[in-house]
Structure 1
Amino acid sequence: MIMQGVIKQIFVDNWEKFSEIYKGKIRANISREVDKMINCKSLDNGFIEFKCENCGHIKRVGFSCKSRFCTSCGKKKSEEWSDEMVARLINSKHRHMVFTIPQELRIYFARDRKLLSLLPKCSAKAIMSWFRDLNKKECFTPGIISVIHTFGRDLKWNPHVHLIVTEGGAGEITIWRNTKHINYTALRKRWQKILLDEIGINLKSGKKEFKKLKNKLYKRLENGFYVYGKGEIKTAKQAGKYVGRYTARPAIAQCHQFNIQKYGI
């Protein structure tokens, strides 16, 4: 049996003390989302009232917080997002790809989080440029969904991008051309150049220091930044559900609460 509300109770019991210890280090949006989760379905924030016509019994149900961080609301949002995304996807085979960056670049995205927007932009640009070079007259355009992840399996700061890409594209003349082979060697070098150029353009300071790092990365990583492809996703529905795991899902799933109780992890 899953223990409902365990994660929420941990925050109720410890968030205030935690906030005091790390005062000034917690971003405002994190505090807002935690407060929403703690007060989710609180009657103080409004409620719907139900009354039995026979016995007169009244039941009040508080409004949900609708925060992604909430283990209850986040799960529902994930399911709704996936269903909506499936309806918008091209009915084609898709491929899951991961575009990563070297450790030396992570500090730049930590200092200025606005730079994170470059990750989906540049990874999509790398893919689209490769597709268009297949036939410059046709200028094939694939379907792309990109999701930023800011942490790795060890939960440390590690910005990277997950992408769902159609195995094919629409041309200027041809309605659709299936493309099973994707050249990852070419993508790696394109990804490296496009991202490094964009970071250099968008840096507010330290451009001289970054230029030196840029030259070092080109020498050390001659084959470009690592791009990983996990293989095909056969249906649009499967693609929507798959990418939903990386975006609208709650930060901590309810199923993990059971593990905390049973195994102490």
Structure 2
Amino acid sequence: PSNRSQITFSAAYNVWKVMNCREPGGLGYATYACPDHPDQVTHIPKTCKSRFCSVCAKIQVDKWVADMNRLFPNCPYFHITFTVPSQFRILLFEKRSLLNAVFSAGAQTLL
């Protein structure tokens, strides 16, 4: 059976972008040429810039890490992961507005 009806437009679009990343026939390309040497043309394929793309995401993650490192105080810290029971994940997926309350509750457990 097909699950196509359960795939959101956003998910399908991101898959398409990743599959066509750096493909001149997919996302297109920029062409650069020197006016003095019109026979010397360079085509640069466009990138998807999707966080799901192993190449593009790495660039974005490195930038994000650098930005975050500027925000964090220069002291030891640790990372904590909060999980949501599987029974609630569908509800949170459908009602994104509830995520703030869930994260706030998680933060309160540390205070």
Which residue matches 2:11? 30
Q: In the superposition, relative to structure 1, how do residues 24 and 117 fare at CA in structure 2: closer, same or farther (>3 Å)?
A: farther
Q: Could you say which residue in structure 2 is the equivalent of 1:96?
A: 79
Q: Which residue does the alignment assign to 1:175?
A: none
Tell me: higher relative CO, structure 1 or 2? Use CA pairs within 8 A at least 6 residues apart: 1
Alpha-carbon offset, residue 126 of structure 1 = 2.0
Partner of 1:40: 21
How far did residue 31 of structure 1 move?
A: 0.9
From 20, 30, 33, the counterpart of 1:51:
33
> Contact 1:109–1:116 at 8 Å: present in 2 too?
no
The aligned residue for residue 65 of structure 1 is 48
Residues in 2 aligned to 1:82 and 1:109: alpha-carbon distance in whole angstroms = 27
Could you tell me how far apart the structure 1 residues matched to 2:56 and 2:83 are?
30
Question: If you compute each CA radius of gyration, which structure gives the higher value, 1 or 2?
Answer: 1
SS in 2 for 1:122: helix
- 2:108 and 2:76 mapped to 1: Cα distance? 20
- TM-aligned CA deviation for residue 118 of structure 1: 3.3
Q: 1:46, CA displacement in angstroms?
A: 4.1
Pair 1:122-2:102 in alignment:
no
Q: Could you tell me which runs of 5 or more consecutive residues in structure 1 were left unpaired when the two chains were aligned.
A: 1-19, 129-265
- Relative to the length of structure 1, the TM-score reads 0.35
1:58 and 1:112, CA in 2 relative to 1: closer, same or farther beyond 3 A?
Answer: same
Report the number of matched residues: 106
Cα distance in 2, alignment partners of residues 26 and 40 from structure 1: 20
Q: Which amino acid aligns with 1:109?
A: R
